[in-house]
Amino acid sequence: MSELDQNAAEELELEEVTPYRRRTRVEPRRRARGFVLGRIVRWIALWVIVLPGPCYTAYRLVTFVLSGAGFQLQSAKDVSVTGNHVVLREEILSALGLPALGPPPVPVNLFRMSLDAKRAKIEAISWVRSAVLSRSYPHRLDVMITERAPVGFVNVDSRLQLVDGDGALLEKPDKGDFDFPVLSGVGADISDSERRRRLIVYAEFMRQLAPLGPRSGWSISEVDLSDPDDLKALLVNNQKTVRAYFGSSNFSDRFESFLALLPEVRKTTTRIDSVDLRYRNQIVVNPGIGNGEQVTGNSPL
C-alpha cells in the first residue's frame, strides 16, 4: 500500500471514530434520567407502603395524649404551689381556672394548657412579681411564685398602702407585720417610670443608713421623695423628732455629720425643728418655734 493510500485510510478511520465517540456521550445522560426516575418511584413507594403505618400510630398517640383522662388535672391536689407567703393558694388556683375543692367543671388537659397564658393570669395578681409554670407528667402542674417585696408605706386617698421597689402599689394583707417608713411623693398621681426613679434614690438612702440607724438610736419615720434631688426624712429618737434634708447622695456621711454635731447644737437650743445637711462643710439648723435664728455648725463633709 502506498503512503497516499495509508493516509487516506487513517483519515477515514478518524471520521468513523469521531461520530462514535460523540454518540457515547449521550448514554450517561440517559442513565442519569433513569436514576432520577428510579429514586422518584422509590419515594412514592415509601410514602404509599411504608409511612402510613407509623403516621397512623403517631396520630393515635397524639389523640390519646390530648384526650386521655390520665393527662388531665383531676383536682387542686394535682397543682403544687411554692414561694407564696402573702398570695393565697386559692388565688393561684382561681387564676388557673381550677376550684379549690372538687374536680374542675371542665376537664383540664395538661398538654392542651397554655403555660404562657396561665402565667400571665397569675402575674396579674398584685402581689405576684413573677411566676414559673412547669408540667410534671402525667397530670401534675408545678407553680413557683416570686412575691413582691414592699419597701415602704404610701398614703393613697387617706388609706395606707404598701409599695415595692418597682413602684407597684399593694394592698396591706390581713396577716403580716411590716415596719417601714411612710413615703410621700410616690403616689398614684405620678407615672410608673418616675415612681421607680424616686424609689431608686430611696433604696440607696435606706441602704446607706441601715447600719447607722440602730447604733445611733435614731429611726426613720417618714421620707419625702417629692424632689428626688433633695430627699427629706423625719428622724425620730424617743420623743425627739428632726426633719433632715439629705440631698441626693452621700447619705451616710451626712447622717454621721448630723450625729457628730448634734451635741454641740443642743448646747445652743433646746429644740431643733430641722437640719439641712446638703451644704458642704456646714450644717444649717433651724431651731423650733419660738426661736427664729438659724444655728450653723461646721461639718467634716
- Name the percent of the chain lying above pLDDT 90: 39
Cβ atoms of 192 and 167 closer than 8 Å:
yes
DSSP-derived secondary structure letter, 69: G
Is 61 inside a domain boundary?
A: no
Task: Note down the domain range covering 164.
Answer: 150-298
Residue 235 pLDDT:
94
Work out the number of other CB atoms within 10 angstroms of the CB of residue 189: 8
Cα 57 from chain centroid (whole Å)? 42
- Cα(205)–Cα(215) distance, integer angstroms: 17
125 and 194 in a single domain? The answer is no
Long-range contacts of range 196-203, CB-CB < 8 Å, 24 or more positions apart? Answer: 196/165, 196/166, 196/167, 197/228, 198/225, 198/228, 199/151, 199/163, 199/165, 199/166, 199/167, 199/225, 201/225, 201/228, 201/231, 201/248, 202/151, 202/152, 202/231, 203/151, 203/165
CATH number at residue 182: 3.40.50.11690
- Cα(55)–Cα(59) distance, integer angstroms: 6
158 and 278 in a single domain? The answer is yes
124 and 165 in a single domain? The answer is no
- Cα(300)–Cα(98) distance, integer angstroms: 63
- Cα(39)–Cα(45) distance, integer angstroms: 10
Most confident of 13-17, 139-143, 280-284: 139-143
Work out the number of other CB atoms within 10 angstroms of the CB of residue 126: 16
- Backbone phi, then psi, for 178, in 5-degree steps? -120, 130
142 and 182 in a single domain? The answer is no
Residue 272 pLDDT:
81
pLDDT tens by residue, 257-291 = 889 888 877 777 667 888 899 887 667 887 764 44
The band of 7, judged by pLDDT with boundaries at 50, 70 and 90, is low
Residue 11 pLDDT:
55
287 and 154 in a single domain? The answer is yes
**Quick check: helix, strand or coil at residue 15?**
helix
- When the pLDDT of each residue in the chain is averaged and rounded to a whole number, the result is 78
Structural Rg of the chain based on CA atoms: 41
Residue appearing with cell numbers 403544687: 80
**Cis amide prior to 263 (ω within 30 degrees):** no
Nearest to 119 by CA among 107, 104, 135: 135
Is 228 inside a domain boundary?
A: yes
- Cα(87)–Cα(39) distance, integer angstroms: 63
278 and 234 in a single domain? The answer is yes
Is 63 inside a domain boundary?
A: no
How many domains does the chain contain in total?
Answer: 3
Is 221 inside a domain boundary?
A: yes
Write out the H or E segment, with its range, that includes residue 142. strand 140-147
Residue 223 pLDDT:
97
Residue 125 pLDDT:
95
